[in-house]
Chain A
Amino acid sequence: ETGVTQTPRHLVMGMTNKKSLKCEQHLGHNAMYWYKQSAKKPLELMFVYNFKEQTENNSVPSRFSPECPNSSHLFLHLHTLQPEDSALYLCASSQVGDNSPLHFGNGTRLTVT
């Protein structure tokens, strides 16, 4: 069983909808991440939070809005998405510090219609 839980597992939304992805980690970690996994492309780092503070925004469009209310929870708020945003969105957590391995959730499969 993964220590990182993502909900929902699958999401279909129209381009005018607003939805949120949720991630919760039970590992006592203090860093959390959002990655995007698209077919035939390398994993793309989107956002990093260390101790609830955003430390990385990898040129992500503003239609993706992250929120980290505490070290255990991470959200990705979605609005006015495009079909090319359809992908698997993976949440991960780790301890802050070099070489600390990332623990991933099972992802949310997002389809934008």
Chain B
Amino acid sequence: GDSVTQMEGPVTLSEEAFLTINCTYTATGYPSLFWYVQYPGEGLQLLLKATKADDKGSNKGFEATYRKETTSFHLEKGSVQVSDSAVYFCALSDNNAGNMLTFGGGTRLMVKP
């Protein structure tokens, strides 16, 4: 079945540092890929998405590129802020299964001033 693997956290960075959160997936067919973010006390929000190979999703300074050859969708940001502290979830949607998502385990990011 489909699965998503994320690097375990927490990831602790200083403000303005470069961020990478690794995500790899296993899926049949050609999934769509997503990053969701969960701020403390809130539900998940869509951060960005990519629907086909080599697509780059971007939002709020974050970006991720759909790499079919390495089955990866790593999240990056050039300069993190304290307000980026949250839990980040990588997810996939198998295009044969409608829009039901398979989530990774989440990676907690803590940014210190």
Contacts and interface: CB of A to CB of B under 8 A. Distances in A.
Interface string A65-78: 00000000000000
B93 A98 contact: yes
Interface residues of B, number: 23
Interface residues of A, number: 29
B99 A102 contact: yes
Contacts of A98: 32, 93, 95, 98-99
A100 B95 CA distance: 11
A43 interface: yes
Interface stretch (B12-20, B73-81, B103-111): B103-111
Given A31-B99, A96-B98, A97-B98, A102 B46 contact: yes
B26 interface: no
A4 interface: yes
A104 B91 CA distance: 14
Contacts of B93: 98-99
A31 B51 CA distance: 20
Contacts of B51: 99
A41 B44 contact: no
B101 to A, nearest CB: 6
A4 B45 CA distance: 11
Nearest to B101: A102
A16 interface: no
Given A99-B49, A104-B43, A41 B105 contact: yes
Contacts of A90: 43-44
A26 B59 CA distance: 24
Contact of A99 (B89, B95, B105): B95
Interface of A: 2, 4, 6, 31, 33, 40-43, 45, 48, 50, 55-56, 90, 92, 94, 96-107
Interface of B: 4, 32, 34, 36, 41-46, 49, 51, 89, 93, 95, 98-101, 103-106
